[in-house]
Amino acid sequence: MPHQFSRTQAIRKPAVKSRGGIVAAQSRRAAEVGAEVLAAGGDCVDAIVATTFALNVLEPWMSGMGGGGAMVLYRARENRYEVIDYGMCAPQSLRVADYPITGQGAASDLFPWPRVKDDRNIHGPGSIAVPGVVAGMEEAHRRHARMKWKDLVDPAATIAGEGLLVDWWTTLMIASTAADLRRYPASAETFLRDGLPPNAP
């Protein structure tokens, strides 16, 4: 076993069986939203849509409408696979000349691409790609949904009305990006009141 694992750390979860399907998500509450959709007779795609929008509210630092992804579906009745690609893309007006490579090694971002002048591909309005999540969910819904879009988005809207729970994980996520949040007055005011991350109760 690799050295970074504790000898007492549990790395397995108990198996769960269900005749109606299972929804897995980092957030228990988001998974419950998806499970309720399945219990109401929704297709697995209905559960995906509802869970995705719930995660947007419950885990905005990892899952959100500002991102993108890909969905691999297996439709058992037809024994058919399909992929819906909803990755982010560059704006149509993007000019490569606005992002000159400095030749000073890799960026310090999550991805080890070559460093760009002023890190403008990482910070600021010029670093924003066109999100694909909403379009991807809409396409999956159009192809396979049994339930109305509104009924799948409503649980996320209800959760959003309650506000974001500030627990130790929320505090950790905000603290880990505090330097970047301080760059912009709006994000600093929202997430770093008094200049510090919120404290979990």
Q: Which two tokens stand for residue 88?
A: 């982010």
What is the domain extent for residue 188? Answer: 166-201
Number of domains in the chain: 3
Q: Which of 194, 158, 190 is nearest to 174 (CA)?
A: 190
Hey, is 16 helix, strand or coil?
coil
Q: H-helix or E-strand containing 115? A: strand 114-116
145 and 156 inside one domain: yes
pLDDT of 2 above 60: no
53 and 119 inside one domain: no
53 and 144 inside one domain: yes
pLDDT of 149 above 90: yes
Phi, psi of 77 (to 5 degrees): -60, -35
Q: What is the mean pLDDT of residues 13-29?
A: 82
71 and 138 inside one domain: yes
The answer to whether the pTM exceeds 0.75 is yes
Query: Could you report the per-residue pLDDT of 108-124, keeping only the tens digit for each?
Result: 767 788 999 998 888 88
pLDDT of 50 above 80: yes
Whether 11 is covered by a domain: the verdict is no
Is 153:46 a contact under the CB 8 Å cutoff?
no
Is 168:200 a contact under the CB 8 Å cutoff?
yes
- How high does pLDDT run on average in the chain? 89
Which of 103, 128, 153 represents a domain boundary (last residue)? 128
76 and 123 inside one domain: no
pLDDT classification of 1: cutoffs 50, 70, 90: very low
Is 123:104 a contact under the CB 8 Å cutoff?
no
- Going from the C-alpha of 134 to that of each of 12, 34, 48, 71, 127, the distances in angstroms are 33, 17, 12, 13, 19
119 and 182 inside one domain: no
